[in-house]
């Protein structure tokens, strides 16, 4: 290892290319100034991300103790307390693992690539001179929070984190610590999400139909159920909704057992309700597996919808704009940082399928509006979410922390 370069330790919870954090990290590593920085990526398991990182000539390390800290929502349910007790045990394991890795690697910088792993900053030995960057990609309260958990987060970040990078103004504002925070916008990344794809074949369409895409899968906070409800209300003839990630993937035996008991008790999971909607309206709703060819899919669609029920950064809306396609998003969070209502797309109230249906009809029934919104969106996204500017800001932060 060269002593002339600053060693940067990246802590990543997912080893697969399965979300914005993974794709953003991979692209950032491609653009990292390797003449100045020597990176090592540590993740909780092996997967496509680590294999792609290795192809860049960057060392990787798998450590099963590197896990996200996803709190259960506060409630009186005794399982919530049990869940939190287990998390505390796992968190301590992760902290010990980071302490050992830092003692061996001796990094100048530790980049924690997600706010759901903020606790791992406790494993960095401050006396070694290592500085900690925390990348806030998810809203702190998404998994539920409480006063006790908030104090835990605040104390740890105040004493262990040197700089906070938010992918939006909203994420920085919601996480707190404005005095050590800066916004470095994420950006559209199609290098790993492109390839040939015939959307009509994927959807099983024999004729040309206007297609609405939702990339929210079966995650409740991304609101695909509202897309299902809206598409059934839409007045546009022959419109078809494709939900990528809508096909249920089998999980471990314990998860499947818990799910069976839940359903046997007469309860319906979020995904089960999506399945029911799709079965009732097979001509309009298609549940699809995840695909890597996101760019091709968006280019062939008429509009992308992101009706999230909890504020978060909608990468699909940003990606749609970059490709000259309008997006319809729920109001709240970063919505107004990504979409300018009536100029680059449309914003609707969260949890309002009727308003979403009206917005879909408005775009599909007015080709001239669709073209105008798409042109404006392409220009706006390219100006705000510029990868060269974002990487320059990240390099500037690294230089400030480890000159």
DSSP for 32-48 reads: S-TTTEEEEEEESS-SH
Residue whose tokens read 């009809």: 361
Q: Tell me how crowded residue 126 is: count the other CB atoms within 10 A of its CB.
A: 12
Q: What angle do CA 391, 317, 302 make, to 5 degrees?
A: 135
Q: 360 and 230 in contact (C-beta within 8 Å)?
A: yes
Token pair, residue 223, equals 């609101």
Cα dihedral 260, 264, 265, 267 in deg (nearest 10):
70
Token pair, residue 183, equals 């916004």
Q: What is residue 75's predicted lDDT score, i.e. its pLDDT?
A: 41
Burial (CB < 10 A; 0-12, 13-18, 19+), residue 277, is: buried
> What is the per-residue pLDDT across 182-241, written as a single tens digit (0 to 9) for each?
999 999 989 888 899 999 999 999 899 999 999 999 988 899 999 999 999 999 999 999
Q: What is residue 140's predicted lDDT score, i.e. its pLDDT?
A: 56
Q: What is residue 108's predicted lDDT score, i.e. its pLDDT?
A: 97
DSSP 165: E
Q: What is residue 74's predicted lDDT score, i.e. its pLDDT?
A: 41
**Confidence band for 37, pLDDT divided at 50, 70 and 90:** very high
Q: At what angle do helices 48-55 and 20-31 cross, to 10 degrees?
A: 10
Q: What is residue 79's predicted lDDT score, i.e. its pLDDT?
A: 42
Q: What is residue 116's predicted lDDT score, i.e. its pLDDT?
A: 85
Q: 281 and 258 in contact (C-beta within 8 Å)?
A: no
Q: What is residue 84's predicted lDDT score, i.e. its pLDDT?
A: 61
Q: Is residue 266's pLDDT more than 80?
A: no
Q: 230 and 222 in contact (C-beta within 8 Å)?
A: no
Structural domains in the chain plus CATH codes? 6-187+386-401 (3.40.50.2000), 199-384 (3.40.50.2000)
Give the lowest-confidence range in 15-19, 42-46, 60-64, 124-128: 15-19
Q: What is residue 256's predicted lDDT score, i.e. its pLDDT?
A: 57
Give the lowest-confidence range in 64-68, 133-137, 264-268, 369-373: 264-268
Burial (CB < 10 A; 0-12, 13-18, 19+), residue 259, is: middle
* Single pTM value for the model: 0.87
Q: Is residue 257's pLDDT more than 70?
A: no
User: What one-character-per-residue DSSP string does 303-357 give?
Assistant: EEEE--SS----HHHHHHHHTT--EEEESSTTHHHH--BTTTEEEE-TT-HHHHH
**Confidence band for 393, pLDDT divided at 50, 70 and 90:** very high
The residue ranking higher by pLDDT, 175 or 38, is 38
Which stretch of DSSP H or E encloses residue 11?
Answer: strand 6-12
Q: Is residue 61's pLDDT more than 90?
A: yes
**How does the average pLDDT of the chain come out, rounded?**
88
**Confidence band for 78, pLDDT divided at 50, 70 and 90:** very low
> What is the per-residue pLDDT across 282-302, written as a single tens digit (0 to 9) for each?
999 999 998 889 999 999 999
Q: Tell me how crowded residue 5 is: count the other CB atoms within 10 A of its CB.
A: 15
The residue ranking higher by pLDDT, 144 or 167, is 167
Mean pLDDT of 363-371: 95
Q: What is residue 249's predicted lDDT score, i.e. its pLDDT?
A: 66
Q: Tell me how crowded residue 113 is: count the other CB atoms within 10 A of its CB.
A: 23
Phi, psi of 151 (to 5 degrees): -65, -40
Q: 326 and 338 in contact (C-beta within 8 Å)?
A: no
Scanning 234-304, the segments in alpha helix (DSSP H) are 253-264, 270-280, 294-300
Mean pLDDT of 310-339: 93
Q: What is residue 90's predicted lDDT score, i.e. its pLDDT?
A: 76
Give CA–CA dist 348/307, Å, rounded: 8
Q: What is residue 383's predicted lDDT score, i.e. its pLDDT?
A: 95
User: What one-character-per-residue DSSP string does 38-85 give?
Assistant: EEEEEESS-SHHHHHHHHTT-EEEE-TT-----PPPP-S-HHHHHHHH
Token pair, residue 144, equals 């539920």
Scanning 106-168, the segments in alpha helix (DSSP H) are 147-160
Q: Is residue 141's pLDDT more than 60?
A: no
Q: What is residue 265's predicted lDDT score, i.e. its pLDDT?
A: 58
């Amino acid at each position: 290892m060269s002593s002339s370069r600053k060693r940067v330790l990246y802590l990543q919870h997912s080893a697969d290319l399965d979300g914005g954090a993974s794709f953003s990290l991979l692209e950032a590593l491609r653009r990292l100034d390797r003449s100045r920085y020597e990176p090592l990526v540590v993740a909780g398991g092996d997967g496509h991300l680590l294999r792609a990182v290795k192809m860049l000539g960057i060392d990787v390390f798998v450590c099963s103790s590197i896990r996200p800290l996803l709190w259960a929502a506060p409630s009186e349910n005794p399982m919530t307390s049990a869940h939190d007790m287990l998390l505390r045990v796992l968190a301590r394991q992760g902290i010990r693992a980071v302490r050992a890795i830092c003692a061996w690697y001796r990094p100048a910088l530790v980049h924690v690539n997600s706010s759901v792993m903020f606790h791992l900053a406790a494993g960095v030995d401050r006396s070694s001179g290592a500085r900690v960057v925390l990348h806030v990609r998810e809203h702190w309260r998404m998994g539920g929070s409480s006063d006790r958990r908030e104090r835990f987060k605040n104390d740890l970040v105040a004493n262990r984190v040197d700089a906070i990078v938010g992918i939006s103004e909203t994420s920085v504002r919601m996480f707190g610590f404005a005095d050590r925070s800066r916004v470095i916008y994420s950006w559209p990344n199609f290098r790993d999400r492109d390839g040939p794809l015939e959307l009509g074949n994927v959807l099983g369409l024999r004729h040309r139909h206007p297609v609405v895409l939702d990339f929210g899968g079966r995650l409740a906070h991304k609101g695909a159920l509202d897309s299902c409800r809206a598409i059934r209300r839409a007045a546009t003839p022959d419109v078809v909704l494709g939900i990528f990630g809508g096909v249920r993937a089998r999980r471990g035996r314990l998860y499947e057992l818990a799910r069976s008991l839940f359903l046997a008790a007469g309860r319906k999971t979020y995904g089960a309700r999506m399945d029911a909607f799709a079965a009732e309206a097979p001509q309009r709703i298609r549940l699809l597996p995840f695909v890597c060819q996101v760019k091709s899919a968006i280019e062939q669609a008429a509009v992308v919808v992101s009706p999230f029920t909890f504020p978060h950064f909608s990468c699909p809306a940003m990606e749609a704009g970059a490709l000259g396609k309008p997006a319809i998003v729920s109001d709240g969070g970063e919505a107004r940082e990504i979409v300018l209502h009536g100029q680059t797309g449309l914003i609707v109230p969260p949890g309002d399928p009727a308003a979403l249906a009206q917005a879909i009809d408005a775009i599909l029934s007015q080709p001239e509006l669709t073209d105008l919104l798409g042109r404006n969106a392409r220009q706006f996204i390219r100006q705000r979410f510029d990868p060269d500017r974002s990487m320059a800001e990240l390099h500037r932060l690294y230089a400030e922390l480890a000159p």
